[in-house]
Structure 1
Amino acid sequence: MLVALLAGLTMSCAPSYTLVTTAPDEDLKNETFQYRKWVREGVDPDTVVVALHGFSGASIDYENLATHLLKEQPSSAVYAYEVRGQGRDPKKERRGDIDDPENWSVDLLTFTSLVEKKHPNAKIVWFGESMGGLILSHTYREQIEQGLKPPCDAIGISSPVVAIRDDFPAWKKELVRGLSKVAPKKRISLETLAGGQEVQMTEDSFHSEQSETNSWHVERHTLRLLVTLGDMIEEMPECAESFAVPTLVLHGGKDFFTEADDVKTFVGHIPETTYSTRKFYPEGHHLLMYDTGKEKVISDIAGWLGELRK
């Protein structure tokens, strides 16, 4: 399991901390992963958001949401950690790769346990953006299928990738899968996978530009990571069928990765007995919390969190 160095958690700023791995597996020992937290000083939060960033993202991506919550809902807190295999993985050779996708679930469950120990009376909300939503959805499903209780009290997903785009050629998908068996660690860029097409992330930014502004941006990812994500995407409807806690899904009409109708279908797989909310932003792109309509998006998330307290 992971042991955290959790000093100074009553601070309201967002410093980084270290998770130290002490797993029995020799390959996993002494690994460190950083995270950020936003907690108002002197407040024991009643709701804690455990946040997972997306593909080529970082924990700092939640600063907009966390800053709003500390101001408007001071009894909320946000904990966001750096996802394994992304740009702030301490093992630089693993950035853009994943050793074993099951470790994503192990990391999430362990981090959640650490947060629960620090705030035993708080509701735990898992919130994932894009790839982060994939990770939390599969982790939740795995726990339920094992007959365990829900690992969180609510789920929020921003810009879920729930289906492979219709215009993505089947031959290209099979080619990537075939090449991954021969050269799993071979790397390609997202733009190459998209056939040279610019991948728009917000109204005024593209994925290819992130390397100029974000130190954690990963230019190229391994084929095995991309295939893993593809498999996870195709299993998202089954994940939705396992959701038994209040669920919020946010998506934009101009999202490069997922069609609006596919997200509607995904939400339709959530059981009718589960309280679910879908928020649609017709002009929104993939990174909703940093797009031109970010104020509305963040306000909607905060409103949903407030409803959970009722």
Structure 2
Amino acid sequence: MATSPQGVPYEQLAHYVNADGQCIFTRCWAPPTDIEIRALCLVLHGAAEHSGPYDRLAIPLTGCGVMVYAHDHVGHGQSQGDQMDITDFNIYIRDTLQHVDVITSKHPNLPIFLFGHSLGGAIAILTAMERPEQFTGVVMTGPAITVHKKLTSSLTMNLLRFTSYWFPKHELDKINPEHVSRDPKEVELYRTDPLVWHGGLKARFVAKATAAFQQIQNNMSSIEWPFLILHGDADNLCDINGSKMLVERAKSTDKHLQVYPGHYHALICEPPKDAAVVIRDITSWIVRRIPENATKPDDVHYRD
């Protein structure tokens, strides 16, 4: 039996097998048995991290009747795959759509939302572009939509292409934990989390992600589905201008950018009082968009 990168047999872990035969680790947070399931939400984490910390968002959602699922992207956390390397960004989209199919087959006829943070925001956008009619809404925190300022020159981009082709696993800049949150406790949790990739972002990964961001920008005007973006204006990891661009260009009539002054990148990991406001804003946006007639199927299983 295949084992996770941590050596745990997948027969002991919730997972699905993707099209490449890799085991993708999954999580599920179910509402209490006395609360009716009214909607589904799939959480998509950011680069170098994993799905575990999103329980702080998932648990409040379950209290509102939302069944929450998540997975560790290939090459992340407890999923198989070369760590922080990807040959095709569409693999993230393909795996996400497969997970969507898994959970909607378990809970048919329920509205489904996507939540994506950082790189997960880019994945959520491209996933919703693939199936624009399937998702009731998309929520993003600090989404990665534009390239880092360091990569804006043609010389730098050419160097990145060269490096990603000849030295795909070459490590570039590391994510600075100090830029993740203003809360020192959260910074230390991130710094010491064994499931977080603490090395540099690999060249091929950066090149493929950069191309995906350009794909999003090229197709923003086709977006018509409802979405909410939440972004800190002191975010040093993902440029807020990408979020502003998406709100400006998308055709959606239900779209909003919520800016939090002085907040860093991981909004739900900011100091407790600030994080609570963000989580409340996310939860209330989703709940307000659950159709009133959305009820659980008779055969639903509350605990997977």
TM value normalised by structure 2: 0.82
Equivalent residue number for residue 218 of structure 2: 238
Using the alignment, how far apart are the partners of 2:26 and 2:17 within structure 1? 12
Using the alignment, how far apart are the partners of 1:84 and 1:137 within structure 2? 18
Using the alignment, how far apart are the partners of 2:262 and 2:95 within structure 1? 34
- Percent identity of equivalent pairs: 23
Using the alignment, how far apart are the partners of 2:40 and 2:211 within structure 1? 30
Contact 1:210 1:217 in 2 (8 A): no
Using the alignment, how far apart are the partners of 1:61 and 1:304 within structure 2? 21
Is residue 2:24 matched to residue 1:33?
A: yes
Equivalent residue number for residue 300 of structure 1: 281
Letter in 1 for 2:29: W
* Alignment root-mean-square deviation, CA: 2.5
Aligned with residue 108 of structure 1, among 96, 100, 111: 96
Aligned with residue 79 of structure 1, among 46, 64, 69: 69
Equivalent residue number for residue 190 of structure 1: 174
TM value normalised by structure 1: 0.80
Is residue 2:232 matched to residue 1:252?
A: yes
Using the alignment, how far apart are the partners of 2:87 and 2:244 within structure 1? 32
Task: Note the C-alpha offset of 1:16.
Answer: 4.9
Using the alignment, how far apart are the partners of 1:138 and 1:308 within structure 2? 21
Contact 1:39 1:76 in 2 (8 A): yes
Contact 2:27 2:71 in 1 (8 A): yes
Equivalent residue number for residue 17 of structure 1: 14
Distance 1:164 1:102, change over 3 A: closer
Alignment of 1:1-310 (within 5 A): 16-21=13-18, 23=19, 28-29=20-21, 31-42=22-33, 43-71=35-63, 73=64, 75-91=65-81, 94-141=82-129, 143=130, 150-166=133-149, 168=151, 170=153, 171-190=155-174, 200-204=179-183, 212-218=191-197, 219-271=199-251, 273-292=252-271, 293-309=274-290
Task: Note the C-alpha offset of 1:99.
Answer: 3.4
Higher RCO (C-alpha 8 Å, min separation 6)? 2
Query: Which consecutive residues of structure 1, in runs of 5 or more, have no partner in the other structure?
Result: 1-14, 192-196
Using the alignment, how far apart are the partners of 1:211 and 1:70 within structure 2? 25
Distance 1:291 1:248, change over 3 A: same
How many residues align? The count is 275
Task: Note the C-alpha offset of 1:66.
Answer: 1.1
Letter in 2 for 1:32: C
Letter in 2 for 1:18: H
Structure 2 residue matching 1:306: 3-state secondary structure: helix
Distance 1:210 1:233, change over 3 A: farther
Using the alignment, how far apart are the partners of 1:100 and 1:262 within structure 2? 22
Contact 2:15 2:25 in 1 (8 A): yes
Using the alignment, how far apart are the partners of 1:164 and 1:99 within structure 2? 19
Query: Which consecutive residues of structure 2, in runs of 5 or more, have no partner in the other structure?
Result: 1-11, 292-304
Distance 1:20 1:258, change over 3 A: closer
